[in-house]
Structure 1
Amino acid sequence: MTTIDDETSTKAATRQPGNDSFNLSAIGAFLRASAVFILLAAMLIGFAAAQPVFINISNLMSILQAVSVVAILGAGVTVTLAVGGFDLSIGAVAASSVMAASYAMIVWHLNAFATVPLVLAFGAIIGLLNAILIVRLRVPDLLATLAMMFLLSGLQLVPTAGRSISAGLILPDGSKATGAYDPAFLTIGRYSIAGTVPVSVVLTLAVAIGLFVLTERTRIGRLLFATGGNEIATRLAGASTVKLKTLAYVISSTLASLGGIIIAARVGRGDVSSGGSLLMDSVAAALIGFAVLNLRRPNVLGTIVGAVFVGVLLNGLTMLNAPYYTQDFIKGAVLVGALALTYGLGRSNP
């Protein structure tokens, strides 16, 4: 005769494999969602143990200041990825904006309040041109933005005959530029609020919050992702994919110009070599963002975390005196690992 206790034991035994499977699934989901944060925490602990000064508040703020431009440009890349595109011109737009801001003040004698809107407008125009090439002329986004990258890389050298811009610049016509950087402009890249939080970090936070609200909490944001997911269905639903794509590329280039303004305000000169690594670092931040919280899609929060992730990694390697020529390899390896962890653990067995 079977007792109630025997039946209970039998049911418990029968449920056990299912419980184990559920627990493993839950653990896997947690690891996928938290992988980047776990790796970031491990790096912070490891670098702090190796170099206690790493965890100093001034060094942490230095890291945030260093990644602010990459985070802003990466946020722009994220918006273009959301609509199914890609902007290869952001590094060139940022570099051209550095030169434009310097030229405006050194040669044209403009102040900060005229220079900043002018440079931001320049970035918006470049984004509009990209959108015209991609949306109206139907040039593939990679080709259009690659062509714009080469165009801007050459154009920024023309006004000064390839020279960097600083006080006393000799112009191609032989005249001497007598302007100087506006001190108010330099505060954007050099001033720290309460002596602790750099202005560039505050600007990055403002951009992150604004874009997060736009992309995650508004109808426009939902339509941006819908355009990237299924453009035809979005168009049939009544949304203008032309306007949405145009908006995405204008935002991307305008943010790239903002990044250029921050660089110019930080270094205090128009360096022709500025912006060399910005494209790859920004793309890396945006791609690492796919792994944050296991969203597996472009997202601004993930991009900011990705930028901080890369900044912490590079700062820690520098403090440990790692050879500079290994840093790109390590960044690539970490990116591959983060994406493999996110997508690989998410695959179901065939």
Structure 2
Amino acid sequence: MTVRDLAMRYGFLALLAAMIAYFAISASGFVSPQSAVFIFQSVAITGVLALGVTATLVVGGFDLSIGSVATTAMMAAAYVMVVLEQNALVAVIVCLAIGVIVGLINGFLIVYMRVPDLLATLGMMFLLVGLQRIPTEGRSIATGMTMPDGSVASGTFSPAFLALGRHRFDFFISNLVPVSVVVLLILAVLIWFFLEYTRFGRMMYAVGSNERAAQLAGAPVKAYKIWAYVISGIFASIGGILLAARLGRGDIASGNNLLLDSVAAALIGFAVLGAAKPNAFGTAIGALFVGILLQGLTMMNAPYYTQDFVKGVVLVVALVFTFALSRSGQR
């Protein structure tokens, strides 16, 4: 194995290890249970959304609406429980239904209306950003708020629902692993197995690598592409549920960075172990990388406006490892 091959396969993992070592030395308290909890919590929601993006990348698409789907699901959960005074099960069902409907609409626009995926999902993003604010006239949802019609929202978040975002399991160190992280791990394993070891998943990769060849082979290409966007919508809704459960309110500004962080995690995943393709394992590592990076910068008191720049640099480096070096090695 050449030096180039080693760099392609293990370079990103070496970068991750070096970053952890740097923050451990430079940021006081970085290596602590409290810091780990913050990282895990930030990784969980970003990772869930990134896994949904991965499903669309596999079929050669892209979903820019995931952040707005997650925020809409969060607002819907709050509205159902606080305003409509329904239970947690109803709120979860409504959120998942939103993800399915948005995924179907995105898939229909892309597959049957032939709207480019970036434009279709960008339009959906703006539509949802506006839609989620209409019922409350742009205000966040919390118990005791006054609604536009003058009534007072007296409902509360169900304790069972809040446990999804706040409960922690004992794991070696007491109360270290949040429920949301367990959800991420379960979903990551499921989507990894689905994409790598099922015929449906392998056909999705075939559609993404050569749609025309898959179509000539008799594969229902349109159905696979629509299902990819439905999966993305469902995962985004689950992320919104976890976010609502963590905050205990419907905060319209809380999902501002979800899209960028999730996309970064999914694209960074291309560089993990030299995969050079969308994959669930790489996405999970990418989400962990983003979470560690942001936590380390925060603990070092780095200005908030520099964080996106640093994430951009890391993403560019990861993509260079993935595409530029791999292509030069094939010449």
Alignment of 1:327 with 2:307, yes or no, is yes
Contact 1:190 1:198 in 2 (8 A): yes
State the AA in 2 paired with 1:335: L
Q: CA deviation at 1:144?
A: 0.8
The structure 1 residue matched to 2:149, chosen from 159, 162, 173, is 173
Alignment of 1:68 with 2:44, yes or no, is yes
State how 1:161-240 maps to structure 2 within 5 Å. 161-194=137-170, 195-240=175-220
4+ residue runs over 2 A deviation: 341-346
Q: What is the match of residue 268 of structure 1?
A: 248
Structure 2 Cα separation of the partners of residues 61 and 235 of structure 1: 46
Cα distance, 1:349–1:295 mapped onto 2, change above 3 Å: closer
Q: Structure 1: 5+ residue runs without aligned partners?
A: 1-24
Q: What is the match of residue 19 of structure 1?
A: none
Alignment of 1:279 with 2:259, yes or no, is yes
**Paired residues, number:** 326
The structure 2 residue matched to 1:311, chosen from 285, 291, 296, is 291
Q: What is the match of residue 99 of structure 1?
A: 75
Alignment of 1:288 with 2:264, yes or no, is no
The structure 1 residue matched to 2:224, chosen from 244, 257, 272, is 244
Q: What is the match of residue 111 of structure 2?
A: 135
Q: What is the match of residue 317 of structure 2?
A: 337
Contact 1:97 1:119 in 2 (8 A): yes
Contact 1:35 1:338 in 2 (8 A): no
Q: What is the match of residue 55 of structure 1?
A: 31
Cα distance, 1:349–1:167 mapped onto 2, change above 3 Å: closer
Contact 2:99 2:230 in 1 (8 A): yes
Q: CA deviation at 1:285?
A: 0.5
State the AA in 2 paired with 1:216: E
Structure 2 Cα separation of the partners of residues 275 and 51 of structure 1: 27
Cα distance, 1:147–1:349 mapped onto 2, change above 3 Å: closer
The structure 1 residue matched to 2:88, chosen from 112, 127, 131, is 112
Q: CA deviation at 1:223?
A: 0.5
Q: What is the match of residue 348 of structure 1?
A: 329
Structure 1 Cα separation of the partners of residues 325 and 278 of structure 2: 19
Structure 2 Cα separation of the partners of residues 337 and 213 of structure 1: 28
The structure 1 residue matched to 2:19, chosen from 43, 50, 53, is 43
Structure 2 Cα separation of the partners of residues 143 and 340 of structure 1: 26
Structure 2 Cα separation of the partners of residues 311 and 348 of structure 1: 31
Q: CA deviation at 1:228?
A: 0.9
Structure 1 Cα separation of the partners of residues 210 and 103 of structure 2: 23
Aligned with 1:348: secondary structure?
helix
The structure 2 residue matched to 1:87, chosen from 53, 58, 63, is 63
Q: Structure 2: 5+ residue runs without aligned partners?
A: none
Contact 2:4 2:329 in 1 (8 A): no
State the AA in 2 paired with 1:220: F
Structure 1 Cα separation of the partners of residues 189 and 134 of structure 2: 37
Cα distance, 1:223–1:27 mapped onto 2, change above 3 Å: same
Structure 2 Cα separation of the partners of residues 277 and 34 of structure 1: 28
